[in-house]
Amino acid sequence: MLIIWDSFVGTPVRTFLNPHPNGVRAMDLSVDNQYIVTIGADQPQTISLWDWTNQNEEGPICSEVNNTVDPRYLNFWIKFNPNNHFELIANSQQRLEIYNWVPGNAKFMYYAPRVDATDFTGAERADCDLTKSVFIPGTEMAVTGTEGGDIIVWDKSLILEGIGEPNEKRLIKVVTLNT
């Protein structure tokens, strides 16, 4: 179950029974504290958005199902954009996904920016698993760490280059921290 607690007095203020059949794998709270996003530990994996402050909402206000069976593509991390709670970033071992949602729409819109082995300094680095992804506050950028010691920097596409769609993030740089 998903329980929201009043941290000052230590009592539950909202409970959602059985948000995901096999439990919650990851979650985050929006900066304005109105929304919670959860990733289920189930297969197919479900990503759900909850407006816990609206007492009329008994379930998620937005959901998406990840139908992959390959464990390398099951999300284990998700974060809200601190500048825009309508945008989230999630990652699995091998893929980054950026989610957007619109109030009143029950489904997320999402895309997975392309990563190519040629973006890295060596083929062995390109095969490293992703760790965590976060948005950089006050910017449009996000970063993702890898187990190989790289930081992947994502930013909005430059449509003049013909890569991606307007307003979609793409890989702009790989910073090697560990050689």
User: What pLDDT was estimated at residue 114?
Assistant: 84
State the number of CA atoms in the 13 A half-sphere of 151 facing the CB. Answer: 9
User: What pLDDT was estimated at residue 33?
Assistant: 94
Residue 101 CB contacts under 8 Å (≥ 6 apart), including other chains: 49, 62, 86, 88, 108, 109
User: What pLDDT was estimated at residue 124?
Assistant: 66
C-alpha to C-alpha distance for 156 and 174, rounded to whole angstroms: 15
β strands within 35-164, DSSP E: 35-40, 45-51, 62-66, 77-81, 84-91, 96-100, 109-111, 130-135, 142-146, 150-156
Single-letter amino acid code for the residue at 61 = I
User: What pLDDT was estimated at residue 166?
Assistant: 65
pTM: 0.89
Helices within the chain (DSSP H only) = 123-126
Question: By the 8 A CB rule, do 153 and 143 touch?
Answer: yes
User: What pLDDT was estimated at residue 177?
Assistant: 82
Instruction: Please provide the size of the chain in residues.
Output: 179
The helix/strand/coil state of 69 is coil
C-alpha to C-alpha distance for 85 and 88, rounded to whole angstroms: 7
pLDDT tens track, the chain, 179 positions: 899 999 999 999 999 999 999 999 999 999 999 999 999 998 899 999 999 999 999 999 999 998 888 888 999 999 999 999 999 999 999 999 999 999 999 999 999 988 877 777 766 676 789 999 999 999 989 999 999 888 999 998 665 555 556 678 988 888 888 65
Distances (CA, A) of 90 to 13, 112, 149: 27, 10, 19
User: What pLDDT was estimated at residue 66?
Assistant: 87
Record the tokens describing residue 67, joined without a space. 């139908």
Q: Which secondary structure element, helix H or strand E, spans residue 81, and what is its range?
A: strand 77-81
